[in-house]
């Protein structure tokens, strides 16, 4: 039996020398080292040996198993590395490289950046303000009295009794005028929040671009000229827009600016882009600017609606559905 153990060990080691691939190596493992393999079965044969031979048989069986197992593991590692290297060699380095998928800015961010660039060329600086505002900056300083419908809790997102998510970027006007005296020429982009019913042109969260100019001799003509130049720079010379008389507590006189948009069926209709007007003297009083010496104008335009007009987007909800088929177009 001892001779048989030695013979099995010699045959196993000799067969390993001829193996060059992982498939053959797996067949070897099953034949010799598997649960019913020849080397494994040697250990079960030790009990059949005469008592005086059992110690020697056990030592020989363990020796054969260790030698075959060590040789097997060494060969398996060698074959694994060789096959991995062969796979690397199959790569054709002369082929064109794969273009990585690179992310890009959302269409809203692209629009904001383009708007800021246009106004920067017109001499405007950029201002920012907090999205969580107090009632003073959101209402009081903007000449909106306590009984005004705009202050209704049903029309705002209140955080507590005196704090809310800003309903307009006009709050930034107040903060700018509190810390800076005329001349002032700023634009302010940002998110605003209103509990509107969601439809093709309304969302409860959207973006506005606020503009403010304060100086001596500023007039409604200056505002209209600036808006006209801005719309033509952003939308092209053929863009159609109009003034429509309106009322805002913080501007007097006031107007709405409408853009001509196309719906899903291609039908054109006028859609409100935002409000504008001459800064009300009461607003100047709230921030300590002499309303006898200075005049100013301001507007707040919806950035989503500008993007919809520029890129022929029929529904504002498309901008927030995160559908890559839509977003990859921009």
Give just the sign of the alpha carbon dihedral 50, 51, 52, 58: positive
- Tokens representing residue 97 in the block: 């490289």
Integer Cα distance of 112 and 106 in angstroms? 10
- Tokens representing residue 276 in the block: 């504008």
Integer Cα distance of 17 and 79 in angstroms? 12
Please give the pLDDT value at position 269: 83
CB atoms within 10 A of CB 237: 7
Q: Where are the domains of the chain?
A: 2-89, 107-327
Fold of 107-327: BirA Bifunctional Protein; domain 2 (3.30.930)
Per-residue b/e over 117-156, b at no fewer than 16 CB within 10 Å?
ebbeeeebeebebeeebbbebbbebbbbeeeeebbeeeeb
Please give the pLDDT value at position 65: 78
Please give the pLDDT value at position 90: 65
Read off φ and ψ for residue 33, nearest 5 degrees: -110, 0
Please give the pLDDT value at position 88: 64
Please give the pLDDT value at position 142: 95
Please give the pLDDT value at position 238: 85
**Contact (Cβ atoms closer than 8 angstroms) between residue 206 and residue 303:** yes
Please give the pLDDT value at position 231: 92
Residue indicated by tokens 């064109």 = 96
Integer Cα distance of 18 and 9 in angstroms? 15
Please give the pLDDT value at position 87: 66
- List for the chain the helix, strand, coil content (%; round to 5): 45, 20, 30
Whether the pTM exceeds 0.75: the reply is: no
Please give the pLDDT value at position 19: 82
Q: What pLDDT tens digit does each residue of the chain (330 aa) get?
A: 666 767 777 787 778 788 888 888 788 888 777 777 777 777 777 766 676 766 776 777 777 778 878 888 888 888 888 877 766 656 677 888 888 888 889 999 999 999 999 999 999 999 999 999 999 999 999 999 988 988 998 899 999 988 999 999 999 999 999 999 999 999 999 999 999 999 988 999 999 999 999 999 999 999 999 999 999 999 888 888 999 999 999 999 999 999 887 666 777 888 888 899 999 999 999 999 999 999 999 999 999 989 988 888 989 999 999 898 898 888
Angle at the Cα of 143 from the Cα atoms of 137 and 148, rounded to 5 degrees:
100
């Amino acid at each position: 039996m001892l001779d048989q153990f030695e013979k099995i060990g010699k045959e196993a080691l000799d067969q390993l020398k001829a193996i060059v691939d992982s498939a053959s190596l797996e067949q070897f493992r099953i034949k010799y080292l598997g649960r019913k393999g020849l080397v494994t079965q040697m250990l079960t044969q030790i009990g059949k040996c005469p008592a005086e031979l059992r110690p020697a048989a056990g030592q020989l069986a363990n020796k054969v198993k260790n030698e075959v197992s060590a040789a097997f593991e060494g060969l398996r590692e060698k074959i694994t590395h060789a096959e991995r290297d062969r796979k690397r060699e199959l790569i054709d380095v002369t082929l064109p490289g794969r273009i990585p998928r690179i992310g890009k800015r959302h269409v809203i961010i692209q629009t904001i950046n383009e708007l800021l660039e246009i106004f920067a060329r017109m001499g405007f600086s950029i201002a920012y303000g907090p999205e969580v505002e107090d009632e003073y900056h959101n209402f009081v300083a903007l000449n909106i009295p306590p009984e005004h419908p705009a202050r209704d809790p049903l029309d705002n997102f209140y955080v507590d009794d005196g704090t809310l998510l800003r309903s307009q970027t006009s709050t930034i006007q107040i903060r700018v005028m509190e810390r800076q005296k005329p001349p002032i020429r700023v634009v302010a982009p940002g998110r605003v929040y209103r509990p509107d019913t969601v439809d093709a042109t309304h969302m409860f969260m959207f973006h506005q671009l606020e503009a403010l100019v304060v100086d001596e001799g500023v007039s409604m003509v200056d505002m209209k000229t600036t808006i006209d130049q801005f719309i033509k720079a952003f939308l092209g010379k053929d863009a159609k827009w109009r003034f429509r008389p309106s009322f805002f507590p913080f501007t007097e006189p006031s107007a709405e600016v409408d853009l001509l948009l196309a719906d899903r069926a291609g039908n054109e209709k006028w859609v409100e882009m935002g409000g504008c007007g001459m800064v009300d003297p009461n607003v100047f009083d709230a921030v300590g600017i002499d309303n006898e010496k200075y005049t100013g104008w301001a507007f707040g335009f919806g950035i989503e609606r500008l993007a919809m007009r520029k890129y022929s987007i029929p529904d504002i909800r498309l901008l927030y559905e995160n559908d890559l088929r839509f977003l990859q177009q921009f």
